[in-house]
Amino acid sequence: MPTAIVWFRKCLRLHDNAALTWACESSEVDSILPVFVMDEELGSGGTGGIGFNRARFLVQSLRDLDDSLQRELGLRLRIVRGGYLETMEAIIRGLDGSTPYLAYEYCSEPKSLSVSAEISGWELSGGMDFESRIFSGSHTLLDIEKTVSSENYSNPKSMKDMERIFQRQFGVDDFGFYDIGEPLPPPVSSKPMSEIVTLDSEVGISDLDEYLINNYPRRVLEAPYFRGGEGEALERLSRKVSGEKDYVNNFKKPRTSSTNLDEDHREPSTTGLSPYLSTGCLSIRMLWSECKKAYLMGEHTQPPESLHGQMMFREMFYLLSRSVDNWDQNTGNENCKDIDWGEYDSELVGCWEDGMTGYPYIDAMMRQLEETGWMHHLGRHAVSCFLTRGQLWQSWTAGRDVFERKLLDSDWAINNGNWLWLAGVAPFSMPYYRIYNPCPDSKSSLNVETNLAKFVRHWVPELKDYPSKYIFEPHLAPLDVQVSSGCIIGDDYPLPIVDRKESRAKNLERFKLSLQK
């Protein structure tokens, strides 16, 4: 009987893993070969597409997955460096015996779709002797291909549109919730290979650790706040969702604090589960199910503000990224207004990325991103508005690329969707003239703790001794206050790189003129 090559792509877990479950339970399969292909994730010489936090999170997730496979199923994860197609062809051709299976989850990103199409072409052409099994709905609630190809599909722009789509695809259960089905439990039995298979370009976890040491020698000893892996994901799910019924039922995302919890300036006021969803350490169906359990126990908030509503917005971006051409581009993208952004200014973008704009709230958010790989959604609102239509008049794609490297929860569909939204260029964007004040007060919609300003003091320690009265605009502090606080603006901390009021007025006019062309 044949071997099933289980290709882990964006499903780095045992629970709710349809490809792995099929391989473990199928009577057609005699043995299982778990594989992860590392194409561009970690480049040579530190030139890969992701930064330190993302790289470390991935390595930790792979280590956790390998440990779980060995402990629970007697399997070992084989990590292979190389191109997806070349690697899969080599593995398939290298397996002796009966026709192997290639089992993997669907992924909607353009490159992944291209790879899947090429693999399907291998089967159709008869160039290789194998059979593939591709499983939809592993990374999303919806079957993306089924939804976008349905006769009555149109691009969603709102929660009402998403509710119609969910109603059509799922219907509702006896309790009035969309009937998306329960997550699959982890497999309980397995089929280890009886002999060791040699894979070209295979690397071990220790090789990946060495990569981090060689390319990030000053950062590898830092203790991560978000540690990768299914075990960490399930622990956080239990702590923040399953064990917090009242928190789930009262959750309103717009009311959560952008400056995190007062007692820990690295712990989100939201669930903090997005990094685990984006890497597939946590199933989105598992999160949906746990929230539903809380909802069944009492009154609860509703979409779009509820946790279920936020998951539905996530699905909206996956749908749009599949149905809108050039989703990640400024041009040829029907979901992107044609705005005449300024030429790329490396100095301005560099100050923004490094947290050295002279606006402490913005800088605190960007420094938090650099250190932890995470930022609250309202913080993302503020820094993206500041970079684009608010103050710096830089294209949203410049910020998108920075987030792609640094955010632990970066995801092609969602990252581009959020930047389109927050730059004011998408059909579902807020009005372009709603500009966030980068110097928020206690009444700001950014939900900032301003009385003690602990968040800013933590991430911008140059200002730790400033009076709260001046800490969000320290350049306005009298010189004697600057001296007594141990931070001279312009020497110890930068002056604002632009005048926020002048740039706001100028950029509003620029945006308006672009829309009139």
The 3-state DSSP class for residue 265 equals: coil
Q: Which of the following CATH numbers is that of domain 346-516: 1.10.579.10, 3.40.50.1370, 3.30.70.2200, 3.40.1410.10?
A: 1.10.579.10
417: Cβ contacts below 8 Å, ≥ 6 apart:
316, 317, 320, 321, 327, 426
Give the residue from 268, 295, 509, 294 showing the smallest Cα distance to 408: 268
The single-letter DSSP state of residue 272 is: -
Whole-angstrom Cα distance, residue 403 to residue 49? 11
Strands ordered across the beta sheet of 101-105: 131-135, 101-105, 3-8, 31-38, 78-81, 202-203
Give residue 111's Cα distance to chain centre.
17
Degrees, nearest 5: CA angle 262-265-270: 80
- Residue 40's pLDDT is 67
Per-residue pLDDT of the chain (517 residues; tens, 9 = 90+): 699 999 999 999 999 999 999 999 999 999 999 999 998 666 543 335 789 999 999 999 999 999 999 999 999 999 999 999 999 999 998 887 778 999 999 999 999 999 999 999 887 776 778 999 999 988 999 999 999 999 999 999 999 999 999 999 999 999 999 999 999 999 999 988 877 788 888 999 999 999 999 989 999 999 999 999 999 999 999 999 999 999 999 999 999 999 999 888 889 999 999 999 999 999 999 999 999 999 999 999 999 999 999 999 999 999 999 999 999 999 999 999 999 999 999 999 999 999 999 999 999 999 999 999 999 999 999 999 999 999 999 999 999 999 999 999 999 999 999 999 999 999 999 899 999 999 999 999 999 999 999 999 999 999 999 999 999 999 999 999 999 999 999 999 999 999 999 999 999 999 999 999 7
What is the C-alpha to C-alpha distance for residues 224 and 229, in angstroms, rounded to an integer? 13
| Superfamily for the 1-138 domain | HUPs (3.40.50.620)
* CATH 1.25.40.80 domain span(s) along the chain: 140-178+231-323
Q: Does the global pTM surpass 0.85?
A: yes
Contact (CB, 8 A) for 248 and 241: yes
Contacts of residue 496, defined as CB under 8 A and 6 or more positions apart, other chains included, come to 357, 358, 359, 475
Q: Give the DSSP letter of residue 187.
A: P
DSSP states along 12-47: -SSTT-HHHHHHHH-TT-SEEEEEEEESSSS-GGG-
pLDDT at residue 266 in the model: 86
The residue written with tokens 């990640």 in the block is: 328
Dihedral (Cα; 145, 150, 152, 153), 10-degree rounding:
10
Contacts of 432 (CB under 8 A, 6+ apart): 389, 424, 508, 511, 512, 515
Cα torsion through 26, 285, 430, 435, rounded to 10: -110
Q: What is the pLDDT of residue 44?
A: 40
Within 166-300, strands assigned E span 202-203
**Cβ(212)–Cβ(48) below 8 Å:** no
| Range(s) within the chain of domains with CATH label 3.40.50.620 | 1-138
157: Cβ contacts below 8 Å, ≥ 6 apart: 427, 428
CATH 1.10.579.10 domain range(s) in the chain: 346-516
Residue partners of 509: CB distance under 8 A and separation at least 6: none
Select from 325, 327, 293, 328 the least CA-distant residue to 308: 293
Residue 121 · residue 25 · CB < 8 Å: no
For the chain, helix (H) and strand (E) counts, in that order, are 20, 6
Number of other residues whose CB lies within 10 A of the CB of residue 425: 25
What is the token pair recorded at 44? 């040579």
Could you give the 3-state DSSP secondary structure of residue 254? helix
Contact by Cβ (8 Å): 169, 315: no
Local structure of residue 200 (DSSP, 8 states): T
Measured CA to CA in angstroms, residue 408 lies from 275, 294, 337, 414, 434 at distances of 5, 27, 28, 12, 28
Would you say 462 and 493 are in contact if contact means Cβ atoms under 8 Å apart? Answer: yes
Which of the listed CATH numbers 1.25.40.80, 1.10.10.10, 1.10.357.10, 3.30.70.141 matches domain 140-178+231-323? 1.25.40.80
